[in-house]
């Protein structure tokens, strides 16, 4: 007799020019062989993952965490009353802390998560990254927190230009002088708040790793990728898996020392002299994770199994030379779908068929962070 499918709620359905990881995470889970019901959690009614065929079984609108923890969690628990959620996989940096600090409450309601601890989440933040690197023996570019334009006064004495200007959650822009730093500071702070981070620019090749730690120090999966094309938002629009033993060593060592729990992405610069500088650690699965699935390591599926207490063997190998290429596709739908989710806050899959489903090419169609 077939058992009840796992009810998994997933955020990050905004598969746009600044893509969330939700759609590729769902694709990986559906390809893992697990019996699942996918419950989409969307912040906006035009997130493409709501309308894409074969992605969610039902989608609910939820408030932004900025509405307040109580309002946010009340909506999650309201959905749980209807769906009996087994597991939530949040995919946005800005929502992670709310889920992390609410782990105990959610668990009491029967909802599991598989996330880093509050300490792990905080110490890898962009503002604390230099101290993190020193603690764990990893080279990190020099950086400075900017709270106001007054903090830019001595910038030319502290850094050589160009520099990178980064938001606390998202966005990163190169700046070639102090005036450009000021422009980026205002743009980023108005969107993501303070502080804004100015980081030393390191010349080299950007290489990334998507990895999964089991919380005991064991690296369950790790796949390295070199970005082939990067947008003005710093997002990978194409990439290729690479064999980089040093990257793998850094990843496994870091997970062992921190006992990292959950998905992560390490963003690093490899210089011409083969030095590695860590420029960011994203405390969740990145949006290009479907490349790892296509290369032989189904990280979303393994995360679900770990969260549910299943045994998961270490994935040692993956295919190198596997590419992903992102592309634009006009998805056609019916106004009734938009009206339904806007008016009722939910939309069931199949409520109005969408013609023009994208083909299923051999190349993984992932999304990059």
Q: What share of the chain is helix, strand, coil (3-state, %, to 5)?
A: 35, 25, 40
pLDDT of amino acid 48:
94
pTM over 0.75: yes
Closest to 92 (Cα-Cα) out of 233, 225, 285, 368: 285
Place of tokens 């894409």: 52
pLDDT at 368 over 70: no
pLDDT at 361 over 60: no
pLDDT of amino acid 95:
94
Q: Which residue has the higher pLDDT, 343 or 155?
A: 343
pLDDT of amino acid 354:
43
Gyration radius from the chain CA atoms: 20
d(C-alpha 231, C-alpha 234), whole Å: 5
Which CA distances in Å does 149 have to 112, 165, 189, 195, 227?
A: 43, 13, 11, 11, 33
C-alpha neighbours within 13 Å on the C-beta side of residue 274:
3
pLDDT of amino acid 350:
59
pLDDT at 97 over 80: yes
Model confidence band, residue 195 (pLDDT cutoffs 50, 70, 90): confident
DSSP codes, 227-247: EEEE-TTS-EEEEEE---HHH
Burial class from Cβ neighbours inside 10 Å (0-12, 13-18, 19+) for residue 153 reads: exposed
d(C-alpha 11, C-alpha 25), whole Å: 10
pLDDT of amino acid 234:
66
Give pLDDT tens digits for 244-297.
999 999 999 999 999 999 999 999 999 999 999 999 999 999 999 999 999 999
pLDDT at 237 over 60: yes
- In this structure, the number of other CB atoms found within 10 A of the CB of residue 211 comes to 26
pLDDT of amino acid 247:
95
pLDDT of amino acid 356:
40
Give pLDDT tens digits for 220-235.
999 999 988 877 666 7
Distance of CA 273 to the CA centre of its chain: 30
Contact 285, 115 (CB under 8 A): no
Mean pLDDT of the chain: 90
Give pLDDT tens digits for 27-84.
999 999 999 999 999 999 999 999 999 999 999 999 998 899 999 999 999 999 999 9
- In this structure, the number of other CB atoms found within 10 A of the CB of residue 202 comes to 20
pLDDT of amino acid 148:
87
Note the maximum CA span of the chain.
Answer: 71
pLDDT of amino acid 366:
42
Angle of helix 69-83 relative to helix 93-101, nearest 10 degrees? 80
- Mean pLDDT, range 112-119, rounded to an integer: 97
Q: Which domains does the chain have, with CATH numbers?
A: 6-114+328-348 (3.40.50.20), 142-200 (3.30.1490.20)
pLDDT of amino acid 364:
46
H or E element: which one contains 74? Answer: helix 69-83
Model confidence band, residue 90 (pLDDT cutoffs 50, 70, 90): very high
Contact 150, 185 (CB under 8 A): no
Output the six-digit token pair for 80.
Answer: 């749980």
What 3-state DSSP class applies to 313? coil
Contact 53, 269 (CB under 8 A): no
d(C-alpha 14, C-alpha 18), whole Å: 8
pLDDT at 360 over 80: no
What 3-state DSSP class applies to 22? helix
Give pLDDT tens digits for 138-187.
999 988 888 888 888 888 888 888 988 888 777 788 889 989 889 888 98
pLDDT of amino acid 233:
63
Which CA distances in Å does 150 have to 99, 147, 182, 185, 315?
A: 35, 8, 10, 11, 49
| pLDDT-above-70 percentage for the chain | 93
CA end-to-end span of the chain, whole Å? 41
Place of tokens 């699965």: 285
């Amino acid at each position: 007799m077939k058992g009840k499918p796992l009810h998994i709620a997933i955020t990050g359905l905004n598969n746009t020019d600044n893509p969330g990881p939700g759609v590729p995470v769902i694709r990986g889970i559906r390809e893992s062989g697990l019996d699942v019901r996918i419950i989409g959690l969307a912040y906006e009614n035009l997130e493409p993952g709501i309308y894409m065929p074969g992605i969610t079984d039902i989608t609910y609108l939820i408030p932004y965490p900025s509405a307040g923890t109580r309002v946010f969690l009340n909506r999650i628990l309201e959905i749980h009353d209807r769906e009996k959620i087994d597991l939530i996989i949040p995919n946005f940096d800005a929502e992670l802390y709310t889920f992390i600090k609410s782990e105990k409450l959610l668990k009491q309601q029967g909802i599991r998560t598989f996330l880093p601890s509050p300490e792990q989440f905080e110490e890898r933040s962009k503002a604390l990254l230099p101290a993190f690197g020193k603690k764990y023996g990893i080279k990190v570019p020099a950086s400075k927190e900017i709270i106001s334009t007054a903090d830019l006064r001595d910038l030319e004495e502290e850094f050589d230009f160009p520099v990178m200007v980064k938001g606390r959650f998202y966005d990163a822009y190169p700046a070639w002088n102090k005036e450009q730093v000021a422009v980026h500071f205002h743009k980023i702070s108005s969107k993501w708040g303070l502080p804004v981070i100015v980081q030393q620019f390191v010349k080299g090749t950007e290489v990334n790793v998507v990895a999964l730690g089991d919380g005991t120090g064991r690296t369950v999966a790790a796949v390295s990728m070199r970005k082939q094309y990067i947008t003005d938002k710093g997002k990978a629009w194409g990439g290729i898996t690479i064999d980089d033993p040093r990257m793998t060593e850094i990843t496994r060592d870091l997970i062992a020392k921190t006992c990292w729990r959950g998905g992560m992405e390490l963003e690093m610069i490899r210089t011409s002299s083969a030095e590695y500088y860590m420029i960011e650690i994203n405390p969740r699965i990145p949006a290009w994770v479907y490349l790892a699935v296509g290369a032989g390591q189904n990280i979303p599926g393994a995360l679900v199994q770990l969260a549910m207490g299943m045994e998961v063997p270490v994935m040692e190998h993956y295919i190198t030379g596997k590419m992903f290429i992102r592309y634009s596709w006009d998805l056609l739908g019916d106004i009734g779908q938009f009206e339904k989710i806007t008016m009722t806050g939910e939309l069931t899959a199949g409520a109005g068929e969408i013609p023009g489903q994208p083909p299923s090419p051999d190349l993984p169609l992932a999304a990059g962070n």
